[in-house]
Amino acid sequence: MAELKKSLGMLQLLAFGVAGVVGTSWIYTNSTLFGEYGAGGVVFGLAAGVLLAACVALAYSELTTTFPRAGGEVVYSYTSMGRGAAFFTGWMLLGAYVSSLAFYVTAFGFLLGNFFPVFNTIPLYTINDETVYLPVLLVGIALTALFFALNWFGIEIGAQVQLAMFAAIVIIGAALVVVGFSTGSPQNFFPAYYPDSAPVSDTLRFIIPGMTFLAGFGLVAVLAEDAKISARKVGRTVVLTVLAAGTFYCLVLAATAWVLPWEDVAQMDLGTVAAFREAGFPLLGAGAYLIAFLGLLTSFLGLFVASSRIMVAMGRAHLLPPQLADIHDRRGTPHKALIATAAITLGLGWLGPGAVVWFLDTGGVYLGIVWFMVVLAKYLTPRRYPELERPYRTRLGFLPAIGGIGALLVIIWAIVPGTSSSLVWPAEYIILGVWFAIGTVLYAVARAKQIDRTEGLHAILGDSYDHLHRHEIAAQQRRGENT
């Protein structure tokens, strides 16, 4: 079976990972977070969330170095737990990624509407109290077409664009941090909690939402087959992505609470943007808003690429139509999976943010499930294949289990009513149920056309299959020599 073209170096892979994690709304909505949790709750709770996410990333790192194949999580689940687990993992991951892609279709135009009123003209329809305007929708369609084209001719083109936007985010973020800490005051940050609050409780309450800030670090694992660096370096990049993105978040948020009293920032409408403007740095305020635009674009591009690779892995194992696994002979790109990704993105994106936010909110549940499945695969794989050579092993083997517990908490935090991140009743619970129902139907269809497990492993693992079963091959050779 054809392989994806290896085009991504270390920097490009890191750009897809970190820039795919650093999203958009956090930079101008953190005033709301300060108002609910206090600056200390946000910054310290997020730092704790980063550590938990890093524990999950250790499981990713170990598995990615062993199986550097497209679709990451789907491959790990198929290898360690079989077809059902692989479909479940892949379907949850697609649910999370496609929900975000659909949101981005109109989100970019709505951001532009804050500066150019023309984007808020020619209303088309209203869904969930949000009106979709023609210019906003046209911009989203054009953006989707652009990212499709960038990847149609080879991922290296999209990778260079991603790297350039990533560099801009880092430079602007560094400027915010340096200016914020050099011109601000620790008295603006401390005390870091409201006088009548419970600091420990506020910090703990933000850990789970903080973990969802890191959603997307699995992009590195999904793109492992596209990487031209060693599998070991790919695995390290997964953990580096979590730590780098988490550090970026914490430093920018802390600088926001340092440059002005965070209680004042909590009363503002645009978080970091408004804080730096008020502190006398309008250019940096504009730069913070630019991070929002760039973060949206980098996340859009990263998830677009990743979604197609998930489809490739599921197609190879016949968990979805096998045509999705077709690789173009000359370009080395999954052209049919890219077409499917673009079609689904536009098919849901026209609904606008009012409806798509329901899909987006369920993404926390999907990702929590995926993280837990990856941690489970990390422990089951060596039991199923005891002689498997693993290039990288986590020294403290219990750490991924801690991350797995954090993943379960993400799920519970969203599903159980009454938490700060509970799904909206009944719309989001219905969407969650519908997505599970569609997956059940598709899996039933896939089961009717399923292929032999060995054939599936050959297809989804490629060259890694011989590595997986080398102990069996060696045993057969020994038996042949003895006879």
Would you call 191 helix, strand, or coil by DSSP? coil
Mean pLDDT, residues 279-293 taken together: 96
pLDDT at 358 over 90: no
- CA-nearest of 301, 307, 298 to 341 is 307
pLDDT for 55-105, tens place per residue? 999 999 999 999 999 999 999 999 999 999 999 999 999 999 999 999 999
Q: How many structural domains are present in the chain?
A: 1
* Confidence at residue 355, expressed as pLDDT on a 0 to 100 scale: 83
Residue type for position 33 = L
Report yes or no on 40 lying in a domain.
yes
The stretch 390-411 carries a mean pLDDT of 91
pLDDT reported for residue 221 = 95
| Alpha carbon distance, N-terminus to C-terminus of the chain | 35
Rounded CA-CA distance 432/358 in Å is 9
Least confidently predicted of 284-298, 366-380, 455-469: 455-469
* Exposure letters 435-446 (e unless 16+ CB within 10 A, then b): beeebeebbeeb
Q: Is the dihedral of CA 304, 316, 10, 366 positive or negative?
A: positive
| Residue 4 is assigned to a structural domain of this protein | no
In a domain? residue 210: yes
Phi then psi for residue 291, to 5 deg, are -60, -40
Whole-Å CA distances, 56 to 73, 375, 379, 411: 12, 6, 12, 14
Contact indicator for 403, 371 with CB cutoff of 8 Å: yes
Beta-carbon contacts of residue 356 (< 8 Å; ≥ 6 apart): 99, 102, 103, 105, 106, 348, 349
Q: Mean pLDDT across the stretch 310-320?
A: 96
Whether residue 357 is predicted with pLDDT greater than 90 in this model: the reply is: no
- Say what the pLDDT of residue 476 is: 54
Q: How many Å apart are CA 433 and CA 424, to the nearest integer?
A: 13
Q: For 367-384, what is the mean pLDDT?
A: 95
Alpha-carbon gap, residue 308 to 150, rounded angstroms: 13
Question: pLDDT (tens digit, 9 = 90+) per residue, 426-457?
Answer: 989 999 999 999 999 999 999 888 888 889 99
Kindly tell me if the per-residue pLDDT of 272 is higher than 90. Answer: yes
Asked if residue 394 has pLDDT above 90, the reply is no
Task: Compute the distance between CA of residue 120 and CA of residue 98 in angstroms, rounded to an integer.
Answer: 25
- The pLDDT tens digits for 170-202 are 999 999 999 999 999 999 999 999 999 999 999
Separation between Cα atoms, residue 457 and residue 152, nearest integer Å: 27
For residue 180, tell me if it sits in a domain.
yes
Q: Is the pLDDT of residue 473 over 70?
A: no
3: DSSP letter: P
* Integer angstrom CA distances of residue 396 from 59, 125, 191: 11, 54, 35
Assigned domain for 238 exists? yes
Domain of 34, CATH number, reads 1.20.1740.10
385 CB neighbour count, 10 Å cutoff: 19
Please say whether the beta carbons of 186 and 259 come within 8 A.
no
Residue 343 belongs to a domain: yes
Compute the average pLDDT of residues 288-305: 95
Confidence band, pLDDT 50/70/90 cuts, at residue 210: confident
- How many alpha carbons fall within 13 Å on the CB side of residue 437? 6
CA distance 388 to 390: 6
Does residue 2 fall inside a structural domain? no
pLDDT for position 393: 87
Say how far residue 424 (Cα) sits from the centre of its chain.
22
- pLDDT for 472: 54
Among the listed residues 264, 262, 198, the one whose alpha carbon sits nearest the alpha carbon of residue 39: 262
**Is the pLDDT score of 474 beyond 70?**
no
Predicted confidence (pLDDT) at residue 478 exceeds the cutoff of 60: no
Question: Which DSSP state fits 103?
Answer: H
Helix (H), strand (E) at residue 175? helix 155-183
- Where in the sequence is the domain holding 215, given as residue range(s)? 10-481
Mean pLDDT of 12-32: 92
pLDDT of residue 449: 85
pLDDT at 469: 62
Buried b (16+ CB within 10 A) or exposed e, 346-371: bebbbbbbbbbbbbbbbbbbbbbbbb
pLDDT of residue 479: 54
Express as a percent the part of the chain with pLDDT over 70.
96
Give the confidence band of 483 by pLDDT, cuts at 50, 70, 90. Answer: low
Tokens of 400: 């991924």
Q: Does residue 5 lie in a domain region?
A: no
Cα dihedral across residues 33, 37, 39, 44: positive or negative: negative
Q: What is the pTM of this model?
A: 0.93
CA distance 271 to 52: 26
| Alpha-carbon gap, residue 483 to 78, rounded angstroms | 35
H or E segment and range at residue 130: strand 130-133
pLDDT over 80 (residue 25): yes
Q: What is the pLDDT at residue 139?
A: 96
Please give the DSSP secondary-structure letter assigned to residue 124: E
Longest distance between any two alpha carbons in the chain, whole Å: 84
Q: Is the pLDDT of residue 310 over 90?
A: yes
Amino acid 38: pLDDT? 97
Average pLDDT over residues 452-478: 74
Cβ atoms 313, 123 nearer than 8 A: no
Name which of 378, 340, 306 is nearest 93 in CA terms: 306
The pLDDT tens digits for 222-269 are 999 999 999 999 999 999 999 999 999 999 999 999 999 999 999 999
The whole-number pLDDT of residue 481 equals 58
Looking at every residue in the chain, the average pLDDT score rounds to 92
**Spatial contact of 129 and 354, defined as CB atoms under 8 Å apart:** yes
Cα-trace Rg, the chain: 23
Predicted pLDDT at 392: 87
Model confidence over 97-148: pLDDT tens digits?
Answer: 999 999 999 999 999 998 899 999 999 999 988 899 999 999 999 999 999 9
Question: Could you give the residue ranges of the DSSP H alpha helices within 317-463?
Answer: 335-349, 353-384, 399-415, 427-448, 453-461
Q: What is the DSSP letter of 322?
A: G
